[in-house]
Amino acid sequence: MWLYSEIKTLGDIPRHYASQTPEKPALIDQTGATSWSALNERSNRIAHALLALGVTSGARVAFLGKNTARYFELLFGVNKAAAALLPLNWRLAVPEMAAIIEDADPIVLVADHEYAETARSIAKASRESCRTIILDNASPERSELDALMREAPATDPVIEINPWQTAILMYTSGTTGKPKGVQLSHQGTLFLRLCEHLETSFRYDADDVMLTVMPLFHAMGTSLSLQALYNGVPVAIYPMPEPGELLRLIARDRPTVLPLVPTVIQMLLNHPEAANADFSSVRVVIYAGSGIAPHTLTRALNEIKCDFIQFYGATETACGITFLRPADHNVRNETRLKSCGSTLPLIEIKVADADGNEVPVGTVGEFLIRSPSLTTGYFRQPEVTAAAFKEGWYRSGDGGYRDAEGYLYIVDRVKDMIVSGGENVYSTEVEQAIHRLPGVQMCAAVGLPDPKWGERVVAVIVKDPTADISPDQVISHCRNLIAGYKIPKQVEFVESLPITSSGKVMKRALREKLLRDEST
């Protein structure tokens, strides 16, 4: 729409490039490369197959499977049929996925053969009925989806689509409560492309390749891949490999743009093969999803030796709305490295109090967001939508502040703030202090009920296996860095933390586990 006037919906992306660069690779996965021409034809066939199955304008089509080029064939095909794609989080339990199916009521569920039995279990557990179709990359001749595609026309279905119609129905990760279906429209998604286009700190080059290993059921994986595809950049798509295999993929596929979450960056750097890894093709790492310890970021800058961009966003914003730009990644400015940057063009963030009034610079408040890319609302939840959106502003639930130069800093989820002895404690302050202790790999600070303090600060730490760290050392270390009321009153060491697919610690789940452990 902005660079190319003919791109008005997501289905127009393969249409455009099939006419301009038909033989250039669009997608790459374990099966090889798919050209723009092939992607356009295959998505046409999927659209016709879905229409023959009774998929109508505005209907939902679910997908259950790990990262594969077939995901985008399906996304564009579903969109060409004027329907919305519902990517399911394959990490969820069957009852959780069944609840989403009941809420979204898709007509068709396309499942990778790896999840065929799971799909059947979901169908049994759900009160809604939908047609289940299995795809199999390894044996396309036996795949039900491929059989339907072979019988379908390769011609464009040519269906008129309202740009504000939902293109993707993406359910939130549920770190703070019941998952909600976020409706992302064609128009909003393309508006975000405009905001990115007006941003001068990052551009795609003709020879760029993006490597996507972040799960496509999450906004980061899908949105950044769509960003690349909109700009005609091939996307190499793989399920998240273990760190050593990811290092080998980077060396083999030679990506120039590499989106990762901080936990994966840390795992890469800690892998024994990292010292000899070939990062020479990578010109920019884009990271998001959670905070990153300054010493880890400094190490990444020194070892990967490329530009870094951090973004902050949410499913409700169709992904990134702020940038901490390459020029801001100065290892001598540790304070700036803690920032999530400043807004992209055409996007506003107001730091506000509980009544929606803007607070002074340096004062912590809730981030209220106004963006042309915002969701059109939560699917079939008007009351929840009304509570989250006020006069065009989205209440993000993220607490933070703005400095005098306009940079934004996230300190906590509003619901995760700890009130200890009448004082507000932001978990990120505690976590940043603990991360400065050598041997700490990951940590999370949460509040637990306390008869004296109301809530006590509890630090939960994953340490390096070779590190010898005691609770007393952690507490003593924190005394030199943060106020006394912020210092953990309890320290627990664990082998791993519960995290979402986007790398965020699930603090609600962590608190619940700690409470269960206390009661036993």
Nearest partner of 300 among 263, 254, 250, judged by Cα: 263
pLDDT of residue 176: 46
DSSP 360: P
**Residue 2: pLDDT band with limits 50, 70, 90:** low
Evaluate the CA torsion angle 145, 147, 152, 156 in order and state its sign.
positive
Q: Which two tokens stand for residue 192?
A: 């975000």
Confidence of residue 47 (pLDDT cuts 50, 70, 90): very high
Q: What is the mean pLDDT of residues 69-74?
A: 98
Q: Report the alpha-carbon distance of residue 475 to residue 155 in Å, rounded.
A: 66
| Range in 60-69, 115-124, 223-232 with the lowest mean pLDDT | 115-124
Average pLDDT (393-414) is: 93
Give the model's pLDDT for residue 289.
Answer: 66
Q: What is the pLDDT averaged over residues 272-293?
A: 89
Nearest to 368 by CA among 402, 337, 338: 402
Check whether residue 155 and residue 217 sit in a common domain: no
The pLDDT score that the predictor gives to residue 173 is 58
pLDDT of residue 128: 76
Q: How far apart are CA 112 and CA 419, in angstroms?
A: 46
pLDDT bin (cut points 50, 70, 90) of residue 268 is very high
3-state secondary structure (DSSP) of residue 252: helix
The whole-angstrom distance between residue 130's C-alpha and the CA centroid of its chain comes to 27
Separate counts of helices (H) and strands (E) for the chain: 16, 25
Pairing of strands 108-112, 257-260: unpaired
Give the mean model confidence (pLDDT) for residues 243-270. 93
CATH number at residue 512: 3.30.300.30
Whether the pLDDT of residue 290 is over 70: the answer is: no
- What is the structure's pLDDT at 129? 84
- R_g of the chain, CA atoms, integer Å: 23
Q: Is there a single domain that holds both residue 188 and residue 233?
A: no
284-287/257-260 β-pairing: parallel
Helix, strand, coil percent content, the chain, rounded in steps of 5: 35, 25, 40
DSSP 69-119: HHHHHHHHHHHHTT-EEEE--TTS-HHHHHHHHHHH--SEEEEEGGGHHHH
Residues 152 and 131 in one domain: yes
The encoded tokens of residue 375 equal 């969701």
Let me know: does 83 contact 58? Beta carbons within 8 Å.
yes
Both 208 and 152 in one domain: the answer is no
Identify the band that residue 288 occupies on the pLDDT scale cut at 50, 70 and 90: confident
Query: Is 6 domain-assigned?
Result: no
The confidence score (pLDDT) of residue 191 equals 96
Which has the higher per-residue pLDDT, 116 or 411? Answer: 116
**Are residues 224 and 187 part of one domain?**
no
In a domain, 3, yes or no: no
User: Where residue 175 falls among pLDDT bands split at 50, 70, 90?
Assistant: very low
With both helix axes pointing from N to C terminus, report the angle between 144-151 and 36-52 in degrees, rounded to the nearest 10: 90
Q: Minimum mean pLDDT among 33-42, 154-163, 168-177, 223-232: which range? A: 168-177
| Residue of 335 and 286 predicted with greater confidence | 286
Amino acid at 256: T
Provide the number of structural domains found in the chain: 3
Domain closes at, from 139, 163, 198: 198
Mean pLDDT of all residues in 376-392: 94
- Indicate whether 81 and 141 sit together in one domain: yes
Q: Are residues 52 and 178 in the same domain?
A: yes
Domain residue limits at 508: 417-519
Q: What is the pLDDT of residues 354-379, one digit of tens each?
A: 899 999 999 999 999 999 999 999 99
Within 108-179, residue ranges assigned H as helices are: 116-125, 144-151
Q: Measured between alpha carbons, how far apart are the two ends of the chain, in Å?
A: 59
Say if residue 433 is in the same domain as residue 483. Answer: yes
Share of the chain above pLDDT 90, in %: 76
Residue 262 in this model has a pLDDT that exceeds 90: no
Residues 173 and 295 in one domain: no
Phi and psi torsions of 162, nearest 5°:
-70, 120
Tokens of 207: 């020879």
Q: Indicate if the alpha-carbon torsion angle 321, 327, 330, 333 is positive or negative.
A: negative
Residue 407 inside a domain? The answer is no
Residues 63, 74 within the same domain? yes
**Mean pLDDT computed over 2-30:** 94
Q: Average of pLDDT values for 247-276?
A: 93
- 249 in the same domain as 155: no
At 124 the pLDDT is 86
Q: Can you give the pLDDT at residue 1?
A: 44
Mean predicted lDDT score pLDDT of the chain: 92
